[in-house]
Amino acid sequence: MTTDTTAPDQTPSSIIGRPKRQRWQPDRQHVPVIATLTLLAFMYGIGVVNYEGFDDIQVVLNIFVDGAFLLVVAVGMTFVILTGGIDLSVGAVIALTTTLGATLLHAGWPAGVVLPLLLLLGTTLGLAMGAVIHYFEVEPFIATLAGMFLARGLALLINRNSIPIDNGFWVSVAQERIRFDKGVFISSSVVIALLVVLVAAIVLAWTRFGRCVYAIGGNADSALLMGLPVARTRVAVYGISGFCAALGGVLYSFYTLSGYSLHAQGLELDAIAAVVIGGVLLAGGSGYLFGTVLGVLVLGLIQTIITFQGTLSSWWTRIVVGVLLFAFIVLQRVVAGKRSVQR
């Protein structure tokens, strides 16, 4: 007689086949965007609690109205940073665009000629910097720094004084308001900026070019081995950044109705800060355009809170942005882990 020595199954039948519950965890690359969205909601809540009238919808819309040109510039900067590059020339390109545009309009040139000429100028300068960066293997920081000096110098050469713009087309676009209700409106510049965001988001998410941008930022050598057009894409992203900087300059001239060679000093740092706070990795290869929009809103909300406070210097905006920038760079490092080291 054989004795069965196999241990009986101790697992209750009710547990057999029951799937394990898994706690939902966000994708690691989504963490910075979620952090930015949480920060934005927290800051808005602080404003609503502490300041009367802060919950007015026009307060939020004013952030878009005042920051439309920055949003467009930040879109171009997003493309560049996603490839692991940087563009320090965008503020100077805005100054050059406003100065040249105001000078030509003052000389009687038609707006239909001046506008495409300004966009072509910014795009050409961006493409030139991209070509120098890729084909001559110059660091983006150095190449775009040279572009910054070139654009700012040309603006100063054209005219050192502030030039008012009284062209009929320019004034009508600058004063155009899209009204939703009494006292609730946005400017035409906001519509242009949102269209730029929409087009850029589609390009990054659903086109081969967008996939190449992410691939180059992830690892340019691997992208080249995969047969991706690294050279063409890298040059193109700087062309996009130049185009967005020139368009941002046009929107800036709508906002101020003037051209000035000292316009937008330091705006390149605001654009970089907005992109990084929005969750785009400085090393490239990860990030979303939606995060960049959130980053621009964070910067605008900081300025709005300081304005409502009334007793703080505008320099507190820079201090708070600097602290947030450090915090998000650390967060990126924690989220990315040793990714940059392993490349």
3-state SS, the chain, equals CCCCCCCCCCCCCCCCCCCCCCCCCCCHHHHHHHHHHHHHHHHHHHHHHHCCCCCCHHHHHHHHHHHHHHHHHHHHHHHHHHCCCCCCCHHHHHHHHHHHHHHHHHCCCCHHHHHHHHHHHHHHHHHHHHHHHHHCCCCHHHHHHHHHHHHHHHHHHHCCCCEECCCHHHHHHHHCEEEEECCEEEEHHHHHHHHHHHHHHHHHHHCHHHHHHHHHHHCHHHHHHCCCCHHHHHHHHHHHHHHHHHHHHHHHHHHHCEECCCCCCCHHHHHHHHHHHCCCCCCCCCCCHHHHHHHHHHHHHHHHHHHHHCCCCCHHHHHHHHHHHHHHHHHHHHHHCCHHHHC
- pLDDT tens digits, the chain, 343 residues: what are they? 444 544 444 444 444 445 455 554 556 778 889 999 999 999 999 999 999 999 999 999 999 999 999 999 999 999 999 999 999 999 999 999 999 999 999 999 999 999 999 999 999 999 999 999 999 999 999 999 999 999 999 999 999 999 999 999 999 999 999 999 888 999 999 999 999 999 999 999 999 999 999 999 999 999 999 999 999 999 999 999 999 999 999 999 999 999 999 999 999 999 999 999 999 998 888 899 999 999 999 999 999 999 998 887 778 888 899 999 888 888 887 876 644 444 4
User: CATH for 28-333?
Assistant: 1.10.3470
The one-letter amino acid at 6? T
Q: What is the pTM of this model?
A: 0.90
